[in-house]
Each structure stands twice: as structure tokens, then as C-alpha cells.
A and B are shown apart, each in its own frame.
Chain A
Amino acid sequence: MTNAAQGSPTPPPRYLDAASSEPLHPAARETLLAALDQGYGDPRRLHRPGRSARLLLDNARAVVAEGLGVRPDEVTFTASGTDAVHRGLLGLHRARARVGRRIVHTAVEHSAVLHAAAWTGDDHDAAPVDAHGRVLVPELLARADGAAVVAVQAANHEVGTTQPVSEIADRLDGVPLFMDACASAGRTPLPHGWSAAAASAHKWGGPAGVGVLLVRKGVRWSSPFPRDDRVDDRTSGFENVPAALGAAAALQAVVAERASLNARHAALVDRVRASVARIPDTDVVGDPVDRLPHLVTFSFLYVDGEALVHALDRRGFGIASGSACTASTLAPSHVLAAMGALTHGNVRLSLGRNTTEADVDAFLEVLPSTVADLRADVGL
């Protein structure tokens, strides 16, 4: 870019991809570092380091439960958000084997849900969504009759649209609902009505490698994977006690900050939507109102998504894209496709705790010319 040509140092990147991973919260860093020294023991042992680790783990569980508005005995720490999704969905499915085997999900679930459903080898059925990416409730309910489990995300990870989880749960006749809350947990309160749910700590500013599986008290859930003799029989493997405590500290801090942060993010996203919509031939997607506060997605006709990500990176902006050429699968985003949105030239911008108004203004400043340059390259 021009900075390199002028010999001046490259400016620090403006990170606009918090929905992929939020930088570690300062509260989590402090707690994590302290816990590394105190939480090394095996929490199942009765010696002092073991008891210390157990105390920290129980503390982490209690703090996460409070932050998410659930009971401590409903909280299980897993190896990742994906692991929590797998255990949540498949554990409900397994416990219902005698009643039914079919899995119903929205067409816009995260690939972790889709892969887990496919892995069972049982029938699975996707309910369509509207142009905003919100599931069509009658279509979902029509498919749910006799199903083993229904999967509905709290909010969509690509376009930010919230799903009517509680409304669906109220109308499901005894079929358990699994809720993937990885995109929203910590940032917004959990809806009610789910039987099991999943969250991911690195999406709210905790360390990576900590997922949270929630199973409601009294819900039938059977482990879909080999059991382990650990503290919590819903998961397996040696507990990452320091990371769990770091995740808990981040959650506590984020919940305390979120009213003001969400208001700031929502206003910035409104500004982005209005500004981007003025660029010709642009599809701004996702519900403009009932959405995650920090995330916005749009697609530009005639623009190669990979080229756009690289061009913005050279200008100092880190953004995500759901376009096929940026995906390892070379398939377009199933979310955008299900919505009827344009799948190429796609950008997902997401704001974090450290994102400033200046970051967003700088992005909006360079975006029109970046898009125009890429279109000019193909003569459009």
C-alpha cells in the first residue's frame, strides 16, 4: 500500500473480526495468569494442589452459571465451542433414541451442528429461513413432529439475525431443543426454553479451548462419546482449570460491561449498514433490528471475496468473508445461500470491546474505493 511505498511503517491492523475470536479480556488475562500457578493439580485428587484446582474449577463453574443465568450443576466445560455443540446436540439425540432418531435444524445453523447431525447417520431435515435468515417457525414445527431433537441457534454467526428460540420451544410438543449460543453467549442474555445449549469462551474474550455445555436440570441427556472418569461426566479429558477460570472472569466482566458496549456497537453497526448501502450494487443482509449488536454482513456484486479480504488486509483491516473462494470447502456460505443473499463479494464485519469509532470510520472511508477498484479490474 501507500505506506510501504513511502517507506513509513505499516499501521497496526484494525481488527474487525471479533465474531471469529474476541481478543483476551484484561480481566481474563490477570485471572488466567494467576490460575496457571494455582490450578495445575488434578481436581480429582485429594491432596492440597488437587483440592486447590477443584476449588478453582468449581468457582469457574459458579461464575459462568451466574453470567449465563443458569444453575452451576447445568454447566460443563468442554474442549471448545464445537465440542460443546457436538455433546449438546448428540447427547439429547442419543437420550431420545427410543422415541425418534430424526434431527431437525434450521438451514442456517453453524457447520458444527450440520456435521454433528450428518455424523449420526440418521435423517436430518433443514427448516427454511426468510430473507433475513430467520427460521420460518411453522415450517420448523411441521418438521419437528416425531423428531428426536430440534436445533435452533440463538443468533446467526454470519449475519447476526436472532432466532425465535423461546417461541419455538414453547410450541414444541415434548421434543427437546438444542441451542447453539456460541455467537451470542456473554454478549446478550440467553433465551429460555432450550434443553441443552453450547457456548464458546473465546467469542466473549476468554481464552480459546474452553467451550461451555449447558444441560437443563432434569433433561434426559446421554453421552454420545466414550465416558471418562473426570469431575464432570458430561465431558472427557483432563480439565483445563486455568482456562476455565479465565473464561469465567472474562464472562463476568463482559456481562457487567455489555449494556453500554452493546449500545455503542449497535449504533456503529447502524452507521455501517447505512454507509455500505450507499455503495452501488450492494446486498446488506441480516435483520436490521433483531440482531446481534456487534455484527454486520454485506455482499458486493462482481467482487471476488478473497480479493476483497486481501485488499482490505493490505489497507490494514482484518475482516471475514463467507464467500466460496475464501472457504476451505470452496462452497458458498450455506447461510447466505439459504437466505437468497448474494454469496460472492461477501464481508462480515464484527466489533469487539477494543474497536473504536475511528476504526469503523477508517473502514468506511476506504471501503467504497476498494470495492470500486476491484470492480474496475473486471471492467464493471
Chain B
Amino acid sequence: MTSRPEEVALELDCRAMMCPLPIIELARHAGDIAVGHVLAVVATDVAARHDVPAWCRMRGHEYVGEDVATDGAPRFLVRRAV
């Protein structure tokens, strides 16, 4: 990912959640952070890798990219744009 780690305002623990639950959690909490801030979704379900960027495209937010949580679980970063 990027060389400079993103400042994450809120991290959602969606480990062990099956699709589409991580995306539902993302939608529920997208309003909890300020516009321009980054929200992180930690999800082990394989669909999240495709559906977080798709959600961003459909809802007008910015998909920042993927990194890993402290335990190595995939983490998907979203910047609230609207």
C-alpha cells in the first residue's frame, strides 16, 4: 500500500462476518466520521475485497486501498467524501 500509513478515524471489526454484513456495517457507520476522514473495515470474508470498492463507487466515496490489521487480517480503507 501507500508508504505513509493513513490516519484511521474509525476501525470496524467485521472479522468472521459473511457477505454482505461487512458492507452493511460500513454503511451504518460511514456517517460516524467527518468528511475527508478514513474509516477502516477489517473483514475476512473474501467478497469484501470487491464489495468495499464497489460500495465506494456506488455511494460516491473514495476507496483508499487495502492494508492489514494488527493481527494480519485484511483491512479496507474508505475516505468519506460526502
A interface vs B, CB < 8 Å?
281, 283, 299, 301-304, 323-325, 331-332, 336-337, 340-345, 378-380
Contacts and interface: CB of A to CB of B under 8 A. Distances in A.
A340 B47 CA distance: 11
Contact of A342 (B18, B28, B58): B58
A283 B20 CA distance: 15
Identify whether the interface residues of A are mostly helix, strand, loop, or mixed: loop
A380 B46 contact: no
B47 A344 contact: yes
Contacts of A342: 50-51, 54-55, 58
A324 B53 contact: no
A324 B47 contact: yes
Identify whether the interface residues of B are mostly helix, strand, loop, or mixed: helix
Contacts of B81: none
B23 interface: yes
B35 interface: no
Contact of A325 (B19, B27, B50): B19
Interface of B: 18-20, 23-24, 27-28, 45-47, 49-51, 53-55, 57-59
A380 B24 contact: yes
A302 B24 contact: yes
A378 B26 CA distance: 13
B63 to A, nearest CB: 10
Given A302-B20, A343-B51, A344-B47, 4 more contacts: A341-B50, A343-B50, A344-B23, A344-B51
B24 A332 contact: no
A332 B53 contact: no
B16 to A, nearest CB: 13
Contacts of B55: 301, 342
A374 to B, nearest CB: 10
Contacts of A332: 19, 46-47, 50-51
Contact of B18 (A303, A325, A341): A325
A302 B23 contact: yes
A342 B26 CA distance: 14
Contact of A324 (B23, B27, B28, B46): B46
A261 to B, nearest CB: 33
A324 B50 CA distance: 11
Given A302-B23, A302-B24, A340-B53, A283 B46 contact: no
18 contacts: A283-B54, A283-B58, A302-B20, A302-B23, A302-B27, A304-B19, A332-B19, A332-B46, A336-B50, A337-B50, A340-B57, A341-B50, A342-B54, A342-B55, A342-B58, A344-B47, A345-B20, A378-B24
Contacts of A283: 54, 58
B13 to A, nearest CB: 18
Nearest to A303: B20
Nearest to B50: A337
Contacts of A340: 50, 53-54, 57
